Structure 1
Amino acid sequence: MARSALSVFVAVASASYVAAQVPTFPATPLASLSFAYPSQIPYKAVPDSYVRGTQTGYNICNSTTENQQSLCQTAFVNSISDFCVFAPATANSTIGDTEGEEVIWCTKKGHGGRLIPDGTITGVQVLNNNNYMQIVAFMNQVNININSQDFGGELDPHGQDLNGNPMGGLLYSTHFSSDSTTVQQIHEWNMFVGGNVTAAKICNPSGSNPAGFCQHTLDRIGVAYNMPNNAQNNIFEVCDSDAMDIPGVYTLNGQTLSYSQPAESLGPISTMPYTPRIPSSSNCQTFQSSALYTDLVSVSAPTPTGASTSTPTPSGKSGSSGTTGTRTSSGSPASSTSGSNGAGTITVSLFSSILGVAFSVAFLA
């Protein structure tokens, strides 16, 4: 029996609609896209994606977008006094649920996003070398819309569909430019947020191995393995540092080996074949937080609603308040605490007791 013209049209239209909805990946991954700042910044860095939907924020950010409701997704990481963190737009959120939608929260005005409320940051360590800059900051995370019990997740410009986490999130810095003022796009970076800690690493575009030092595929083993550090709460310092080992690469009995993260379907990661090496640091300069974050004094922390007031406490060793001067060594490493964000759990009590730290968990690629 011949089909009517209407039935044929409906069938063709339905097939076309289904084809249009087939998950697609970008022709060029976000991490490979180049946008000169500010002239080439697009309104949105990634097109609509049928893998996860659309970019929720925007990348053209300026004084008109700079407020505490901003959806800016173009971050800057310049120095201990001038950096942004990707965090949720809505209060009491978890990183696991919002990783594709995070917006910028910054320590200085001028980036077009939200400002981190005064008193949120309680300690920072910056490690500098020719390959990367690493920032580890202790924070009261409820002030940047993260649920107090969330142990967080990992963000980077790759993501499961190559559109980044957050989708369309761009990152720039003046840190590696010869004049310390020219803005460069950072194509390789990653950031762990949760457990009252944020740890960000930006890799020098001219460094020896940007993709290696900013490895993003070892998200489930957290900060201690991806960004080994000796940061201390209540201390604000900038240090020169040796380069860390490439994450996942280690030496055992004189043999260089590599570690690959198992699939979540295999269950929690309960053991690790190696202990991360904390790079040596030197020429540490310490600062008063009140001198670093002068733009935040007028920004008050929000009043949490419907959330627990207890917060996970990172086990990095606390120190006294920073004062101007120099130091040559630091205390125990800081890392997000182990737990669950609904995406899975990592069990690391053995290594926590050995290293005096707890680790980030359930971080998505």
Structure 2
Amino acid sequence: MYPAIRSFCAAFLLSASIATNAQESKYPATPLASKHFAYPTGIPYQADTDPNLVRGSQTGYNLCNSTTEGPNSLCQTSFLCAIDDFCLWAPINPNSTIADTEGEEVAWCTKPGRGTRIFPPGALQGVQFTRTPDYVQVVGFVDQTLINLRPDDSGGELDPHGADLRGNPLGGLVYSTAWSGDNNTYTQVLEWHNFMGGGQFCFKACDPLGPNAPQFCAHNYDRIGCSYNAPSNAQNGTFESCMGDSQDYPGIYTGTDGVVSTYSQPPESLGVISSMPYDPKVPPSSNCVQYTSAQLYSALGTATATASGTETSLTSTQPGTSTSGSQTKSGASAGASQTGTTSGAGRVGVSTVLGVLGFALVAVFWCRAEIFLF
């Protein structure tokens, strides 16, 4: 009997050690911003394949098609191509906040055909698309309740990094035709940021071949919003596409004395940012062409909005397979944000973890005692 006990305990302690090391590991083997996938032929089912890390598994999927398109889509492959062809990251379920769902946002888009959710009619209330030498960006106004955000949510930032380098959302991919030459070939965007909340949005995709993409699409100013990260002349009620100069890098500014300085964002623990040492400088734009919403988004008139007050299942399935019997979201274990910012890694289900840890500790002490006694 004693050898059997020793064998069991040795195996258990080894597996416990492996599991503990896996849970303590925070970073993936390859950061999301360093993963390359050709669109559409090289898209994996999920870009994030590290379910044993702190935030668990990627919520949705990247391999999207006609079987996944619609108000319940969990597609996490996004696009930023033109004023009539872009997506925004927003929550899966109604009445959500960015802070609580940053790791699991899905793509809401203007253009059907890619397997995503489509903006409900009336969601987009003003849009300015700008093409610059270093990036393309879309800035505008949105009825955020129509894309599942609480009306009072001031929001936050989504980007391909996050505190654990897995991105927010986890596994979120972005593509653009802006640098294809034929407006038909998709390039993966490795550096981007998308601010959502307060009835506004901005989404910038930086040229993957540009030498300064990480600087233009900085992800360390998540608390100062669109005005400083993507300054523009966007106006509510106006829809226009422009050419423009590149902005100063976010956080870099020239003072009244002519000295160039770098702004350091204070930690959230110090409270609300009530003042800034500089005003954002809006870069010049030109060749702006205005449109009506109907001209740009006629396809949205037939889209079906997500039913208010309903929740979408978070159990991912391969495109084309049945979702019957899927389990709905559990708020404590769905990868929710740990803090009010959108750059932190998510919290896990506390009660579940404590229960597992309690069992594990009892088993470890028992096994060590058994090994010592026998």
TM-score, normalised by the number of residues in structure 2: 0.79
Alignment-derived partner of residue 258 in structure 1: 262
CA contact (8 A) 1:120 1:301 kept: no
- How far off is 1:266 after superposition? 2.5
CA shift for structure 1 position 300: 4.1
CA distance in 2, matches of 1:119, 1:267: 35
Q: Which has the higher helix share?
A: 2
Cα gap change, 1:168/1:342 in structure 2, threshold over 3 Å: closer, same or farther?
Answer: closer
Equivalent residue runs for 1:57-96 within 5 Å: 57-96=60-99
Task: Tell me by how many angstroms 1:363 deviates.
Answer: 4.3
For residues 232-267 of structure 1, give each alpha carbon's deviation from its aligned partner in whole angstroms, at most 9, with x where no partner exists: 111000111111100011112122111121211222
5+ residue gaps, structure 1: 307-340, 345-361
Looking at structure 1, the residues matched to 111 and 74 of structure 2 have their Cα atoms a distance apart, in angstroms, of 16
Could you list the per-position Cα deviations for residues 260-283 of structure 1 after superposition, in whole angstroms to 9, with x for gaps in the alignment? 212112222222111110111111
The alpha-carbon distance between structure 1 residues 39 and 302, as it changes in their structure 2 partners (threshold 3 A), is closer
1:38 and 2:40 are equivalent in the alignment: yes
* Aligned partner of 1:161 among 161, 164, 169: 164
Counterpart of 1:364 (choices 343, 349, 363) is: 343
Q: Deviations over 1:297-325 (max 9, x none)?
A: 1124446449xxxxxxxxxxxxxxxxxxx
User: Greater shift after overlay, 125-134 or 293-302?
Assistant: 293-302
Q: Larger RCO: Structure 1 or Structure 2 (Cα < 8 Å, ≥ 6 residues apart)?
A: 2
- Partner Cα separation in structure 1 for residue 284 and residue 192 of structure 2: 21
**Distance in 2 of aligned mates of 1:121 and 1:68:** 16
8 Å contact from structure 1 (residues 220, 364) kept in 2: no
C-alpha contact 1:104 1:113 (8 A) present in aligned 2: yes
* 1:222–1:363 CA contact under 8 A, matched in 2: no
SS of alignment partner, residue 291 of structure 1: helix
Q: Which of the residues 266, 274, 288 maps onto 2:278?
A: 274
Give SS of 1:100's match.
helix
1:13–1:27 Cα change, 3 Å: closer
> Equivalents in 2 of 1:283, 1:151: separation in Å?
32
Q: How far does residue 343 in structure 1 lie from its aligned partner after superposition?
A: 4.1
Equivalent residue number for residue 141 of structure 1: 144
CA apart distance, 1:24: 3.2
Q: Which of 161, 186, 191 in structure 1 is aligned with 2:189? A: 186
Q: Tell me if 1:201 matches 2:204.
A: yes
Encode CA deviations 1:131-181: one digit per residue, 9 max, x unaligned: 011101211111111111111110011111101000000000101211111
- Give distance in 1, aligned partners of 2:72 and 2:304: 14
Distance 2:11 2:135 in 1: 57
Which residue of 1 is the match for residue 241 of structure 2? 238
RMSD (CA atoms): 1.9
Correspondence for 1:297: 301
**Partners of 2:166 and 2:342 in 1: CA distance:** 17
In 2 relative to 1, CA 7–182 (structure 1 residues): closer, same or farther, beyond 3 Å?
closer
Q: Is the 8 A contact 2:102 2:342 kept in 1?
A: no
Note closer, same or farther for the CA distance 1:207–1:12 as it changes in structure 2 (3 Å cut).
closer
Deviations 1:176-203 (A, max 9, x none): 2111111100101100011111210011
Secondary structure of 2:223's counterpart equals: helix
One-letter amino acid of the structure 2 residue matched with residue 364 of structure 1: S
Q: Secondary structure at the match of 1:127?
A: strand
Partners of 1:95 and 1:150 within 8 A in 2: yes
Q: 8 Å contact 2:71–2:306 — kept in the other structure?
A: no
Are the counterparts in 1 of residues 168 and 342 from structure 2 also a CA contact under 8 Å?
Answer: no
**Does 2:81 correspond to 1:102?**
no
How many residue pairs were aligned?
313
Preserved contact between residue 35 and residue 185 of structure 1 (Cα < 8 Å): yes
* Match 1:285 to one of 283, 289, 294: 289
Q: Distance in 1 between matches of 2:35 and 2:100?
A: 26
Q: Secondary structure at the match of 2:80?
A: strand
Given the two structures, how large is their TM-score scaled by the length of structure 1? 0.81
Mark the CA change 1:127 to 1:102 in structure 2 (over 3 Å): closer, same or farther.
same
Q: Judge conservation of contact 2:59–2:104 (CA < 8 Å) in 1.
A: yes
Q: Is the 8 A contact 2:71 2:305 kept in 1?
A: no
Inter-partner Cα distance in structure 2 for 1:291 and 1:161:
41
CA distance change for structure 1 residues 27 and 129 in 2, over 3 Å: closer, same or farther? same
2-structure distance, mates of 1:55, 1:14: 24
CA–CA separation in structure 2 for the residues paired with 1:7 and 1:180: 61
* Runs of 4+ residues over 6 Å off in structure 1: none
CA–CA separation in structure 2 for the residues paired with 1:70 and 1:303: 13
Greater Rg, structure 1 or structure 2? 2
Q: Quote the Cα distance in structure 2 between the aligned partners of 1:202 and 1:274.
A: 24
Unaligned runs of 5+ in 2: 311-336, 345-374
